[in-house]
Protein backbone atom coordinates (compact mmCIF):
# COMPACT_ATOMS: atom_id res chain seq x y z
CA UNK A 1 0.00 0.00 0.00
CA UNK A 2 2.87 2.36 0.77
CA UNK A 3 4.41 1.69 -2.67
CA UNK A 4 1.36 2.88 -4.62
CA UNK A 5 1.89 6.59 -3.99
CA UNK A 6 5.58 6.27 -4.92
CA UNK A 7 4.66 4.59 -8.22
CA UNK A 8 1.73 6.90 -8.94
CA UNK A 9 3.67 10.14 -8.43
CA UNK A 10 6.02 9.71 -11.44
CA UNK A 11 3.03 8.70 -13.59
CA UNK A 12 1.17 11.77 -12.50
CA UNK A 13 4.20 13.95 -13.22
CA UNK A 14 4.57 12.29 -16.62
CA UNK A 15 0.92 12.95 -17.47
CA UNK A 16 1.28 16.59 -16.48
CA UNK A 17 4.41 16.96 -18.62
CA UNK A 18 2.64 15.25 -21.56
CA UNK A 19 -0.34 17.58 -21.25
CA UNK A 20 1.95 20.60 -21.22
CA UNK A 21 3.87 19.34 -24.26
CA UNK A 22 0.67 18.63 -26.20
CA UNK A 23 -0.75 22.03 -25.24
CA UNK A 24 2.41 23.74 -26.42
CA UNK A 25 2.51 21.66 -29.61
CA UNK A 26 -1.15 21.95 -30.65
CA UNK A 27 -2.10 24.89 -32.85
CA UNK A 28 -5.63 25.59 -34.12
CA UNK A 29 -5.96 28.03 -37.01
CA UNK A 30 -9.43 29.49 -37.45
CA UNK A 31 -11.34 30.24 -40.63
CA UNK A 32 -9.88 33.11 -42.66
CA UNK A 33 -6.48 32.77 -40.98
CA UNK A 34 -3.09 31.26 -41.79
CA UNK A 35 0.03 30.54 -39.74
CA UNK A 36 3.70 31.32 -40.20
CA UNK A 37 6.01 28.77 -38.60
CA UNK A 38 9.12 29.91 -36.72
CA UNK A 39 11.69 27.18 -36.07
CA UNK A 40 13.65 28.08 -32.96
CA UNK A 41 16.49 25.61 -33.61
CA UNK A 42 16.27 25.79 -37.38
CA UNK A 43 16.37 28.53 -40.02
CA UNK A 44 13.90 30.76 -38.19
CA UNK A 45 10.89 31.93 -40.19
CA UNK A 46 9.87 29.41 -42.82
CA UNK A 47 9.63 31.33 -46.10
CA UNK A 48 10.12 28.55 -48.69
CA UNK A 49 6.93 26.65 -47.79
CA UNK A 50 3.24 27.58 -47.96
CA UNK A 51 1.79 28.94 -44.71
CA UNK A 52 -0.14 26.67 -42.36
CA UNK A 53 -3.79 26.52 -43.35
CA UNK A 54 -6.99 26.34 -41.32
CA UNK A 55 -7.50 23.52 -38.82
CA UNK A 56 -5.57 21.63 -36.13
CA UNK A 57 -1.77 21.31 -36.31
CA UNK A 58 0.95 19.73 -34.17
CA UNK A 59 4.32 21.46 -34.05
CA UNK A 60 7.40 20.98 -31.93
CA UNK A 61 6.89 22.68 -28.57
CA UNK A 62 10.02 24.80 -29.00
CA UNK A 63 8.72 26.26 -32.31
CA UNK A 64 6.25 29.11 -32.65
CA UNK A 65 3.35 29.81 -35.00
CA UNK A 66 2.30 33.38 -35.79
CA UNK A 67 -1.32 33.74 -36.89
CA UNK A 68 -2.36 36.17 -39.65
CA UNK A 69 -5.81 37.08 -40.89
CA UNK A 70 -5.82 36.46 -44.63
CA UNK A 71 -9.35 37.68 -45.42
CA UNK A 72 -9.97 41.06 -47.01
CA UNK A 73 -9.81 43.78 -44.37
CA UNK A 74 -10.73 47.46 -44.36
CA UNK A 75 -8.72 50.47 -43.29
CA UNK A 76 -10.62 53.72 -42.73
CA UNK A 77 -8.55 56.89 -42.83
CA UNK A 78 -9.31 60.57 -42.19
CA UNK A 79 -6.53 62.61 -43.76
CA UNK A 80 -5.83 66.33 -43.97
CA UNK A 81 -4.02 67.18 -47.18
CA UNK A 82 -3.23 70.29 -49.22
CA UNK A 83 -4.66 71.07 -52.65
CA UNK A 84 -2.60 72.51 -55.51
CA UNK A 85 -3.29 76.06 -54.28
CA UNK A 86 -2.33 75.28 -50.66
CA UNK A 87 -5.81 74.92 -49.10
CA UNK A 88 -6.27 72.29 -46.39
CA UNK A 89 -8.79 69.60 -47.33
CA UNK A 90 -10.02 66.61 -45.34
CA UNK A 91 -10.34 63.29 -47.16
CA UNK A 92 -12.28 60.30 -45.77
CA UNK A 93 -11.07 57.17 -47.53
CA UNK A 94 -11.28 53.41 -47.13
CA UNK A 95 -8.74 50.86 -48.35
CA UNK A 96 -9.55 47.18 -48.86
CA UNK A 97 -6.47 45.00 -48.46
CA UNK A 98 -5.20 41.54 -47.57
CA UNK A 99 -1.76 39.96 -47.17
CA UNK A 100 -0.45 37.94 -50.10
CA UNK A 101 -1.12 34.40 -48.91
CA UNK A 102 1.95 32.63 -50.28
CA UNK A 103 4.21 35.48 -49.11
CA UNK A 104 3.16 35.42 -45.45
CA UNK A 105 6.60 34.16 -44.40
CA UNK A 106 8.36 37.02 -46.16
CA UNK A 107 5.81 39.50 -44.78
CA UNK A 108 6.42 38.27 -41.23
CA UNK A 109 10.19 38.25 -41.64
CA UNK A 110 10.53 41.69 -43.24
CA UNK A 111 7.65 43.67 -41.68
CA UNK A 112 5.83 41.66 -39.04
CA UNK A 113 2.26 41.50 -37.76
CA UNK A 114 2.07 45.30 -37.47
CA UNK A 115 2.22 45.73 -41.27
CA UNK A 116 -0.97 47.81 -41.24
CA UNK A 117 0.65 50.61 -39.23
CA UNK A 118 4.12 50.14 -40.69
CA UNK A 119 3.27 49.95 -44.38
CA UNK A 120 -0.37 50.40 -45.43
CA UNK A 121 -1.24 53.58 -43.53
CA UNK A 122 1.94 55.45 -44.57
CA UNK A 123 1.46 54.31 -48.18
CA UNK A 124 -2.12 55.52 -48.54
CA UNK A 125 -1.36 58.80 -46.76
CA UNK A 126 1.60 59.48 -49.00
CA UNK A 127 -0.40 58.65 -52.15
CA UNK A 128 -3.31 60.85 -51.06
CA UNK A 129 -1.04 63.83 -50.41
CA UNK A 130 0.68 63.36 -53.74
CA UNK A 131 -2.54 63.05 -55.75
CA UNK A 132 -4.58 65.76 -54.01
CA UNK A 133 -1.65 68.15 -54.38
CA UNK A 134 -2.19 68.05 -58.14
CA UNK A 135 -5.81 69.23 -58.04
CA UNK A 136 -7.75 72.35 -57.06
CA UNK A 137 -10.73 72.38 -54.65
CA UNK A 138 -13.03 72.83 -57.67
CA UNK A 139 -11.77 69.53 -59.10
CA UNK A 140 -12.28 67.73 -55.79
CA UNK A 141 -15.80 69.09 -55.35
CA UNK A 142 -17.13 68.31 -58.80
CA UNK A 143 -16.11 66.05 -61.66
CA UNK A 144 -12.61 64.84 -60.82
CA UNK A 145 -13.37 62.81 -57.69
CA UNK A 146 -13.50 59.45 -59.51
CA UNK A 147 -10.22 60.17 -61.27
CA UNK A 148 -8.61 61.15 -57.95
CA UNK A 149 -9.83 57.91 -56.37
CA UNK A 150 -8.27 55.85 -59.17
CA UNK A 151 -4.95 57.71 -58.93
CA UNK A 152 -4.73 57.22 -55.14
CA UNK A 153 -5.38 53.49 -55.64
CA UNK A 154 -2.72 53.18 -58.33
CA UNK A 155 -0.03 55.02 -56.36
CA UNK A 156 -0.78 53.12 -53.13
CA UNK A 157 -0.79 49.78 -54.94
CA UNK A 158 2.57 50.57 -56.52
CA UNK A 159 4.06 50.89 -53.02
CA UNK A 160 2.32 47.88 -51.45
CA UNK A 161 3.09 45.46 -54.27
CA UNK A 162 6.70 45.45 -53.01
CA UNK A 163 5.62 44.83 -49.41
CA UNK A 164 3.77 41.48 -49.78
CA UNK A 165 0.38 43.20 -49.38
CA UNK A 166 -2.44 43.08 -51.94
CA UNK A 167 -4.50 46.25 -52.30
CA UNK A 168 -7.98 45.55 -53.72
CA UNK A 169 -9.66 48.96 -53.73
CA UNK A 170 -9.47 52.53 -52.47
CA UNK A 171 -12.73 54.42 -51.95
CA UNK A 172 -12.88 58.18 -51.38
CA UNK A 173 -15.99 58.43 -49.21
CA UNK A 174 -16.04 62.16 -48.54
CA UNK A 175 -14.17 65.37 -49.33
CA UNK A 176 -14.57 68.20 -46.82
CA UNK A 177 -13.61 71.69 -48.00
CA UNK A 178 -13.31 74.85 -45.89
CA UNK A 179 -16.84 76.40 -45.62
CA UNK A 180 -15.90 79.63 -47.42
CA UNK A 181 -14.35 77.72 -50.33
CA UNK A 182 -17.33 75.38 -50.56
CA UNK A 183 -19.78 78.30 -50.67
CA UNK A 184 -17.72 80.07 -53.34
CA UNK A 185 -17.63 76.94 -55.50
CA UNK A 186 -21.39 76.43 -55.11
CA UNK A 187 -22.04 80.03 -56.16
CA UNK A 188 -19.78 79.61 -59.16
CA UNK A 189 -21.48 76.37 -60.20
CA UNK A 190 -24.90 78.01 -59.83
CA UNK A 191 -23.86 80.95 -62.00
CA UNK A 192 -22.46 78.59 -64.63
CA UNK A 193 -25.72 76.65 -64.63
CA UNK A 194 -27.78 79.81 -65.01
CA UNK A 195 -25.50 80.98 -67.83
CA UNK A 196 -25.91 77.68 -69.66
CA UNK A 197 -29.67 77.85 -69.22
CA UNK A 198 -29.75 81.43 -70.59
CA UNK A 199 -27.63 80.42 -73.59
CA UNK A 200 -30.00 77.52 -74.24
CA UNK A 201 -33.00 79.86 -74.22
CA UNK A 202 -31.22 82.24 -76.64
CA UNK A 203 -30.39 79.43 -79.03
CA UNK A 204 -33.97 78.12 -78.87
CA UNK A 205 -35.42 81.58 -79.54
CA UNK A 206 -33.00 82.13 -82.42
CA UNK A 207 -33.96 78.82 -84.02
CA UNK A 208 -37.68 79.62 -83.65
CA UNK A 209 -37.15 83.02 -85.28
CA UNK A 210 -35.27 81.41 -88.16
CA UNK A 211 -38.12 78.93 -88.61
CA UNK A 212 -40.73 81.69 -88.77
CA UNK A 213 -38.63 83.68 -91.27
CA UNK A 214 -38.25 80.64 -93.51
CA UNK A 215 -41.99 79.93 -93.35
CA UNK A 216 -42.84 83.57 -94.13
CA UNK A 217 -40.41 83.65 -97.05
CA UNK A 218 -41.93 80.44 -98.39
CA UNK A 219 -45.46 81.83 -98.22
CA UNK A 220 -44.41 85.08 -99.88
CA UNK A 221 -42.69 83.20 -102.68
CA UNK A 222 -45.74 80.99 -103.21
CA UNK A 223 -48.07 84.02 -103.37
CA UNK A 224 -45.74 85.72 -105.82
CA UNK A 225 -45.73 82.68 -108.12
CA UNK A 226 -49.52 82.35 -107.86
CA UNK A 227 -50.11 86.06 -108.62
CA UNK A 228 -47.83 85.89 -111.65
CA UNK A 229 -49.77 82.93 -113.05
CA UNK A 230 -53.31 84.47 -112.69
CA UNK A 231 -53.77 86.46 -115.97
CA UNK A 232 -57.07 88.01 -117.13
CA UNK A 233 -57.48 85.26 -119.72
CA UNK A 234 -57.16 82.53 -117.06
CA UNK A 235 -59.67 84.29 -114.81
CA UNK A 236 -62.17 84.57 -117.68
CA UNK A 237 -61.77 80.87 -118.51
CA UNK A 238 -62.34 79.95 -114.85
CA UNK A 239 -65.46 82.19 -114.80
CA UNK A 240 -66.88 80.50 -117.92
CA UNK A 241 -66.30 77.05 -116.42
CA UNK A 242 -68.09 78.09 -113.22
CA UNK A 243 -70.98 79.56 -115.26
CA UNK A 244 -71.45 76.35 -117.23
CA UNK A 245 -71.55 74.30 -114.00
CA UNK A 246 -74.10 76.69 -112.46
CA UNK A 247 -76.28 76.59 -115.55
CA UNK A 248 -76.50 72.83 -115.25
CA UNK A 249 -77.68 73.10 -111.64
CA UNK A 250 -81.43 72.43 -111.00
CA UNK A 251 -81.72 75.53 -108.81
CA UNK A 252 -83.71 78.43 -110.40
CA UNK A 253 -81.49 81.20 -111.68
CA UNK A 254 -81.15 83.91 -114.36
CA UNK A 255 -77.88 84.18 -116.26
CA UNK A 256 -77.12 87.42 -118.05
CA UNK A 257 -74.29 86.98 -120.55
CA UNK A 258 -71.80 89.80 -120.96
CA UNK A 259 -73.28 92.17 -118.38
CA UNK A 260 -70.49 92.15 -115.78
CA UNK A 261 -67.08 93.84 -115.72
CA UNK A 262 -64.71 92.41 -118.32
CA UNK A 263 -67.70 90.76 -120.02
CA UNK A 264 -68.16 88.10 -117.30
CA UNK A 265 -71.72 86.75 -116.83
CA UNK A 266 -73.95 87.95 -113.99
CA UNK A 267 -75.88 85.24 -112.18
CA UNK A 268 -79.23 86.16 -110.58
CA UNK A 269 -81.24 83.69 -108.58
CA UNK A 270 -83.22 83.10 -105.39
CA UNK A 271 -80.54 80.79 -103.87
Q: What is the pLDDT of residues 19-69, one digit of tens each?
A: 665 566 788 899 999 999 998 888 889 998 899 989 888 888 888 999 999
Question: How much of the chain is in helix, strand and coil states, percent to nearest 5?
Answer: 50, 25, 25
Quote the strand ranges of 61-155, DSSP E.
Answer: 64-69, 73-82, 88-99
Q: What is the pLDDT of residues 95-109, one digit of tens each?
A: 999 999 999 999 999
**Nearest-angstrom CA–CA distance, 109 and 9:** 44
Q: Classify burial at 132, counting beta carbons within 10 Å of its beta carbon; exposed 0-12, middle 13-18, buried 19 or more.
A: buried
- CA-based angle 158:160:164, to the nearest 5? 130
Pick the CATH number of 73-177 from 1.10.3720.10, 3.40.50.720, 3.30.479.30, 3.90.1200.10: 3.30.479.30
Is 90 exceeded by the pLDDT of residue 114?
Answer: yes
Domain boundaries, the chain: 3-69, 73-177, 186-229, 235-269
Mean pLDDT, residues 67-92 taken together: 88
Amino acid sequence: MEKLPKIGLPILIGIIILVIVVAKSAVTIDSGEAGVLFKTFGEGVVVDEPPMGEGFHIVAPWNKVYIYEVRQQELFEKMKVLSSNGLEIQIDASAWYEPVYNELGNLHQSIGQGYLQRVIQPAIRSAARSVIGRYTPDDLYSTKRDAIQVEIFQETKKILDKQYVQLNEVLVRDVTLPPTIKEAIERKLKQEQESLEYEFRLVTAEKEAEKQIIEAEGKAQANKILSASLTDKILQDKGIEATIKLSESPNSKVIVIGSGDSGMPIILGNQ
